[in-house]
């Protein structure tokens, strides 16, 4: 099968089209013929050498796929050979065939193409795990999404509005991207290039926000803690601005703040199955009705994965970038 390999840590040029044997099917897994694969920020981090796959997971990048089940291990009740599915995987998406735990597979929302389905798992798993389960966002609360036009950002905005009914503030770097944030449900869209702390304080009347979803970390952490209301929760899903920060721990104690960090990739198949069930129950019908949408800004052939990574490196994407595999 054709795959994309990371030859060494570095820029997009370290990606290489190669050929490998089709993997054997472990117990309780299915072999999927991949039609499309999502391209995500964690893929960029893995390419740079900052986010290695968990032990026992293939080094082939790619965390979400859509395709047709080629073969199921004995005893798997669903899905069966021939079934179309989409799934979050721990790795291996940039390939013509991918092994997936059967319990992580999801039906493709009715009316969505394979390309659209491949854009769903990683961003909606991340958003659900962090704002629904982790931060337990409530309808009367305010969510601040840092980087509102990323795939996770747009998923978080829409889950907060369509599932929870919360108020959403989103940051982005341009007026065009701010308009996109509002289009997909953000009540307020502000520039992270300006005085976003002052803007948030003005919007909230000085009361602050209840939940912040952030992938920047570094120097942002204390600034975000300052913006939290009493009992506020700051959820970190990345550290693009740095791996360390100086923070006021007394502030955390006195205002009962929560600083949380999460990742889904290394969690068990059973944990991911629960997220999949939650999404299919609460979000899939919204996708079918087009009340929730994950926009695809670009689609590249598998062999053009370098171009896909260049787009993310330049921060040009709005929504998802997808690879057409077969």
State pLDDT tens for residues 16-37: 999 999 999 999 999 999 999 9
Domain count, the chain: 2
pLDDT band, residue 318 (cuts 50/70/90): very high
Same domain, 59 and 143: no
Among the candidates 236, 261, 286, a domain finishes at 261
* CA–CA dist 29, 16 (Å, integer): 27
Among the candidates 261, 276, 304, a domain finishes at 261
Confirm whether 303 is domain-assigned: yes
pLDDT higher than 90, residue 190: yes
Residue 274: phi, psi to the nearest 5?
A: -65, -40
Same domain, 249 and 303: no
pLDDT reported for residue 79: 98
pLDDT reported for residue 170: 98
pLDDT higher than 90, residue 242: no
Same domain, 159 and 241: yes
Confirm whether 46 is domain-assigned: yes
pLDDT band, residue 313 (cuts 50/70/90): very high
Q: What is the CATH number of the domain that holds 250?
A: 3.40.50.720
Structure tokens that stand for 273 in this block:
């199955």
Q: Write out the residue range of the structural domain in which residue 230 sits.
A: 124-261
pLDDT higher than 90, residue 240: no
Same domain, 248 and 316: no
pLDDT reported for residue 114: 98
* CA–CA dist 161, 186 (Å, integer): 8
Same domain, 99 and 133: no
pLDDT reported for residue 60: 98
Q: What is the CATH number of the domain that holds 104?
A: 3.90.180.10
Confirm whether 32 is domain-assigned: yes
Same domain, 132 and 98: no
pLDDT reported for residue 100: 98
* CA–CA dist 175, 195 (Å, integer): 15
Same domain, 319 and 225: no
Same domain, 223 and 252: yes
In this predicted model, what pLDDT tens digit does every residue of 122-153 receive, in sequence order?
A: 999 999 999 999 999 999 999 999 999 999 99
Segment among 81-85, 164-168, 218-222 with least mean pLDDT = 218-222
- Who contacts 119 (Cβ-Cβ below 8 Å, separation ≥6)? 38, 64, 151, 294, 296, 319, 320, 322
Confirm whether 268 is domain-assigned: no
The position carrying tokens 């204390």 is: 222
* CA–CA dist 241, 218 (Å, integer): 5
Outline where the chain has alpha helix (H). 41-48, 114-118, 121-127, 151-159, 175-183, 196-203, 220-227, 249-254, 269-282, 284-288, 305-313
Confirm whether 287 is domain-assigned: no
Same domain, 92 and 197: no
Segment among 25-39, 56-70, 111-125, 230-244 with least mean pLDDT = 230-244
Percent of all residues in the chain with a pLDDT value above 90, rounded to a whole number? 94
pLDDT reported for residue 299: 98
Confirm whether 197 is domain-assigned: yes
pLDDT band, residue 83 (cuts 50/70/90): very high
Mean pLDDT for the chain?
96
Same domain, 235 and 128: yes
The answer to whether 152 and 271 have CB atoms below 8 angstroms apart is: no
Same domain, 184 and 111: no
pLDDT higher than 90, residue 241: no
Same domain, 224 and 308: no
Confirm whether 278 is domain-assigned: no
pLDDT reported for residue 42: 95
Confirm whether 284 is domain-assigned: no
């Amino acid at each position: 099968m054709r795959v994309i390999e990371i030859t060494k840590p570095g820029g997009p040029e370290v990606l290489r089209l190669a050929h490998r044997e089709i993997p054997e099917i472990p117990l309780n897994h299915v072999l999927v013929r991949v039609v499309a694969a999502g391209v995500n920020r964690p893929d960029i981090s893995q390419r740079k050498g900052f986010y290695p796959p968990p032990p026992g997971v293939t080094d082939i990048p790619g965390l979400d796929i859509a395709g047709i089940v080629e073969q199921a291990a004995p005893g798997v009740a669903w899905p069966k050979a021939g079934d179309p599915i989409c799934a979050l995987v721990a790795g291996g998406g940039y390939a013509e065939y991918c092994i997936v735990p059967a319990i992580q597979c999801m039906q493709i929302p009715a009316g969505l193409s394979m390309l659209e389905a491949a854009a769903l798992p990683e961003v909606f798993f991340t958003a659900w795990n962090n704002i629904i389960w982790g931060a337990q966002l409530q309808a009367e609360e305010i969510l601040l999404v840092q980087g509102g036009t990323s795939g996770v950002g747009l998923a978080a905005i829409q889950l907060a509005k369509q599932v929870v009914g919360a108020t959403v503030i989103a940051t982005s770097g341009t007026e065009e991207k701010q308009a996109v944030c509002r289009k997909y449900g953000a009540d307020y869209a502000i520039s992270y290039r300006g005085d976003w702390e002052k803007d948030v304080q003005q919007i909230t009347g000085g009361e602050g926000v209840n939940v912040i979803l952030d992938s920047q970390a570094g120097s942002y952490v204390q600034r975000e803690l300052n913006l939290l209301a009493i009992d506020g929760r700051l959820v970190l899903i990345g550290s693009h601005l740095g791996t360390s920060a100086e923070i006021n721990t007394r502030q955390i104690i006195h205002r009962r703040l929560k600083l949380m960090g999460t990742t889904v990739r290394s969690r068990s198949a059973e944990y991911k199955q629960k997220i999949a069930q939650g999404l299919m129950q609460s979000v899939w019908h919204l996708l079918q009705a087009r009340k929730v949408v994950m926009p695809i800004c670009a689609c590249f052939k598998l062999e053009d994965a370098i171009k896909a990574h260049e787009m993310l490196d330049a921060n040009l994407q709005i929504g998802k970038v997808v690879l057409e595999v077969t």
